[in-house]
Amino acid sequence: EQKRIAKILDQADALRQKRKQSLQLLNDFLRATFLEMFGDSYKNPMKWKTAQLDEICKEIYRYPTFYGFEYLEKGIPVVKIGNILVNGFVNPDLSNYSFISEKINSRYPRTILERNDIVMAVRGDGSTVKRIGLVAHPNLVGANISPNLLRFNPNQKIVSPFYLFMLVTSESGQKMLEKYITQTAKKTITATDIKQIKVPVPPVDLQSKFSKIFNSVQDLKKKAELSLLEIDNQFNALTQRYFG
């Protein structure tokens, strides 16, 4: 009986590992596709025209602080560094958010989020320019951000938000950003420095082609993540059944 139970659990665990591998393969495929289509962003071997980030974004901004209020149990959600998931998306589950009133929110209009904005940590050891999130869910439209984050609002007539997101999270994009991090007790990077960073800007039609691939991969990842969650639940239920 013990061998039979062990075999069932081994099979369930093997299935979990395969789902995790499929997610990693999808991430690897997206990175490889980006590199094949656009080349190394730092070296720009395809000689794309370049532009400063503030020339291809409608807004690159952070407020130095929030002040004069207390967080609420409901209202306008405030995105913090911890709300950026490891998969690169801002968490759409609002159960772990802090909130502010509409009145307070109106005092900080330049950091009110829109769909497909990008947010990036600009202060904090281990987080500065490393924690970058894409605002992809309608739950987050109209949310605001904490002073430790900076908002990019891409001008979609010039740059695809998915292209820009992949660029700043790529190894090459990280090299561009890290040049401007201040090596103080608490690592920081300023919006002024970020705005002047020059990046390749490929033709819009090529970016649009990549955007379709990006969204298709995200759809596949969502299915794989749901499948993994279901398998995890079944595995835990089996474990509880046999050993609980």
pLDDT digit string, tens, across residues 147-176: 999 999 999 999 999 999 999 999 999 999
pLDDT digit string, tens, across residues 39-48: 999 999 999 9
**pLDDT at residue 120, rounded to an integer:** 97
Cα 47 from chain centre: 27
**Which tokens is 50 given?**
């370049």
- Average pLDDT value over all residues in the chain: 93
Whether 244 shows a pLDDT value over 70: the answer reads no
Q: Which residues contact 152 (CB under 8 A, 6 or more apart)?
A: 53, 57, 59, 60, 117, 118, 119, 120, 164, 168
Percent composition of the chain: helix, strand, coil (DSSP 3-state, to 5):
50, 15, 35
**pLDDT at residue 185, rounded to an integer:** 64
Binned at pLDDT 50, 70 and 90, residue 11 comes out as: confident
Which pairing describes strands 118-121 and 132-134: parallel, antiparallel, or unpaired? antiparallel
Containing H/E element for 105? helix 102-105
Binned at pLDDT 50, 70 and 90, residue 2 comes out as: confident
Give the residue carrying structure tokens 């950003």. Answer: 177
Strands (E), 30-185: 50-52, 57-61, 76-79, 98-100, 118-121, 132-134, 144-145, 149-154
Which pairing describes strands 76-79 and 144-145: parallel, antiparallel, or unpaired? parallel
Q: How far apart are the first and last CA of the chain?
A: 16
Binned at pLDDT 50, 70 and 90, residue 38 comes out as: very high
